[in-house]
Chain A
Amino acid sequence: MADSWTGGGRLVRLYGRRDRVLAPVWVLVLTAMCGASAVATADLYAGTSELADAAHLINQSPALVALYGPILDEHSLGEIAMSKTTVMYAMFVMLMTLVLVRRHTRAEEESGRFELLGATAVDRVTPTVAATAYAAGVVAVLGVLSAVADVAGGLPVRGSLLFGASWLGIGLVGVGIAVVACQLSASTRTCGALGLAAVATFYLVRAAGDVGPGWLSWLSPLGWGTRLRAWGDPRWWVLLLYPVTAAALVGLGWALHRRRDLGSGLVAARPGPAVAAPSLRGAASLGLRLQRTALVGWTVGTVVLGAVFGSIAPTLGDFFKSDAARAALRAFGGRGAVEDALLAALLHIAAYVVTAYGLSVVAAAGSEERDGRAAVVLATGSTRRSVFGATAGLVALGSVWLLLTTGLGMAIGFGLQTGDVADGVGRLLPAVAAYVPAVLLTGALGLAGFAWSARWAAAGWGLLFLFLTLGELGELLHLPDWAIGLSPFQHVPALPGGTVHAAPLVALSVLATTVGFGAWLRYRSRDID
């Protein structure tokens, strides 16, 4: 152990230096979500009877229970307030650890920088051990801050501390999953996909357990947060499950790393074709080829996400008879008070997710250029027009395609509950179409960052984060309307159900086209890295 840690402290400082923006932003957003949830719910329910009614109704809806987990104590303000954060945002904590660990281990190994560090006075596994410690440290900070945010939001201290501890625990389990996943394949992307699949599986197992056989939920770390009963009569021993699981996973990951060669995975890399398929012949087909796996994954993911979202809405038939129920619906992100409004609210969330795809394409184009591959492509007969066009086309067509698959997924989920899929399609296709201009504008802004300089290719992520914050937390933070209105997503009609005004949609479309064209003008005449 002492050997594995030699030089580890310096590596942890290096990781912190490299993540000086990424890690704090992620931690602060998740902390803000905790605080916002606490404040929002405390404001919403005046008396305990309304609270109990709302909690009871949530428990009556299998779809909501599947999404957010059950509310075990229907009289607990804390439990209602934090039900989203206990399960759903806990998953985001795990995703954060996956990003952090992968970034400093497998990604560095694939790029060859790991070797540079590995040749200094450190052990072969030290970078992985240091990444584990570093990610655990970030999670510990998050655990403390989330507890503080809960207390600040008006929740009881003991419950808040337990909640923070559960986030620390789920984060540690996330670190363990990430460390193991990063040993499995030589490909950074495959490792990420494996980690993501593990988290998704835990989420689904928990969902199945929460609506069906309860013991299943004990098998998923994402189910433990609810069963800890942080806000009522706590089961302290549940807190032990996290570190035990995390230690087992981390130990497994370190052992796997110790046994394997640098740059290799547990799963041997398959050889590739000796000659290229005839279809691989230009910038566009290259872009499509590089995105192929990701697009398939996103397509499946959006259909499943859509189907889950779509199937929630109709189960709320009895949900709207009391004021408390309407209030509860609003607490879960609703804008109105009918099932259409719930569909619209869920679609709004899905639109942010789809936007992330386009931005990931832009970010990948930035890496292509910074790593020198764009120069190699541009040194052939490929024009700048075709290289830029390939990226812009993938952003635009990919986003539209994924909006469509999201809409179809929702229509199917909705239709299977109501027995009328055609009705679902009729409601949702216009609704997803309305999001096209806003999603494309955000994508075009990301593209403009890339066009300005390859180093700014990831700037779109910051914008998406800004839009998300403005839209979802703007009112809570008492921001002025004009500031909230900076997010294009605020100008999309709340369909199905809402009224459509053409002007904002036309304005967004014109803006998206203008920004996209401006990006092209810049890219056409700038130096290539």
Chain B
Amino acid sequence: MSNPIEVSGLVKTFGQFRALDELDLTVEAGEVHGFLGPNGAGKSTTIRVLLGLLRKDAGEVRMLGGDPWKDTADLHRRLAYVPGDVSLWPNLSGGEIIDLLLRMRGVTADPAKRTELLERFQLDPTKRGRAYSKGNRQKVALVAAFAAPVELLLLDEPTSGLDPLMEQVFNQCLGEHKAAGTSVLLSSHILSEVERLADRVTIIRAGQAVETGSLSELRHLKAAEGRLGDGATLEDLFLDAYRTDG
């Protein structure tokens, strides 16, 4: 079985700006893959290419065995996406938006599961889109993503605006989906979160993957190079990848 996400040599330019510069990224089946990089490194651009929203300029992109640009809608029925800054329709209620997104993916949520998630995330589904705070808008998208079984989760800084309690609920939900065999691409700035959840990570810089592997692999690599000690945290690895002499 092929990997859910296989990207090699991906290039995407906006005018003169080379947002993705021969990026390589592989997410293996059933793993949570941390996707790290500072603002503007190209994380969201990668995810938008994977979603078929942006057209690649060069390189190979395979997702769930298909071409995201050509088989867009068919692939989307098998994944769920949570953007980092969720914008909701001002006059639709949160409950309506959750149902709408699920139906548009072609799945029906188990009502019990939906209710359970609303309770766990402490989300009032009768509020209008305009009335939700940033964190609550994020929860609407998260409930829609977690409410049905799915093969692949594309999460672009999904916990931005969530409080620590809700972050914990998010971690639990992600763990449950992982246990059920869901593959996850998790783009995040919260290194502790990635360190706890991710099986492997890819660190990107200026549109290129600079490090990829499991945490222990990366640690051993850096220790062998003599750059970091054996007890290096993900934060140490991340900062090391961005040292100017690197």
How many residue pairs link A and B with beta carbons under 8 A? The number is 119
Given A383-B73, A527-B53, A527-B55, verify A289-B92 contact (CB < 8 Å). yes
Q: Flag if B53 contacts A272 (CB, 8 Å).
A: no
Contacting residues, chain A, for B86 (C-beta < 8 A): 372, 376
B17 on the interface (CB 8 Å rule)?
Answer: no
Chain A's closest residue to B96 (CB) is A276
Q: Flag if A187 contacts B130 (CB, 8 Å).
A: yes
Given A280-B100, A375-B51, A376-B83, verify A381-B95 contact (CB < 8 Å). no
Contacting residues, chain B, for A272 (C-beta < 8 A): 91-96, 126-128
Partner of A371, one of B81, B87, B91, B101: B87
Query: What is the 8 Å Cβ interface bit string for chain A, positions 280-294, against chain B (1 contact, 0 not)?
Result: 111100100110000
B58 on the interface (CB 8 Å rule)?
Answer: no
- Roughly how many angstroms separate A427 CA and B74 CA in the complex, as a whole number? 50
Q: Flag if B127 contacts A384 (CB, 8 Å).
A: no
Near A by CB (< 8 A), chain B positions 38-84 give 48, 51-55, 72-74, 76-77, 79, 81, 83
Given A110-B130, A274-B125, verify A381-B106 contact (CB < 8 Å). yes
Q: Flag if B126 contacts A273 (CB, 8 Å).
A: yes
Given A274-B125, A378-B51, verify A373-B95 contact (CB < 8 Å). no
Q: Flag if A373 contacts B106 (CB, 8 Å).
A: no
B120 on the interface (CB 8 Å rule)?
Answer: no
Partner of B72, one of A263, A384, A527: A384
Partner of B81, one of A280, A286, A379, A525: A379
Q: Flag if A380 contacts B91 (CB, 8 Å).
A: no
Partner of B76, one of A110, A186, A188, A380: A380
- Decide if the interface of chain A is mainly helix, strand, loop or mixed: loop
Interface size on A, residues (CB 8 A): 38
Partner of B101, one of A271, A277, A376, A525: A376
- Roughly how many angstroms separate A281 CA and B105 CA in the complex, as a whole number? 9
A322 on the interface (CB 8 Å rule)?
Answer: no
Contacting residues, chain B, for A528 (C-beta < 8 A): 48, 53-54
Contacting residues, chain B, for A376 (C-beta < 8 A): 81, 83, 86-87, 101, 141
A296 on the interface (CB 8 Å rule)?
Answer: no
- Roughly how many angstroms separate A380 CA and B79 CA in the complex, as a whole number? 8
Binding site for B on A (CB under 8 A): 110, 186-189, 263, 269, 271-277, 280-283, 286, 289-290, 371-373, 375-384, 525-528
Binding site for A on B (CB under 8 A): 48, 51-55, 72-74, 76-77, 79, 81, 83, 85-101, 103-106, 125-128, 130-131, 141, 154
**Contact sample, A vs B, 12 pairs, CB 8 Å cutoff:** A187-B90, A263-B130, A269-B128, A271-B93, A271-B128, A276-B95, A280-B99, A283-B104, A372-B86, A379-B51, A381-B105, A525-B55
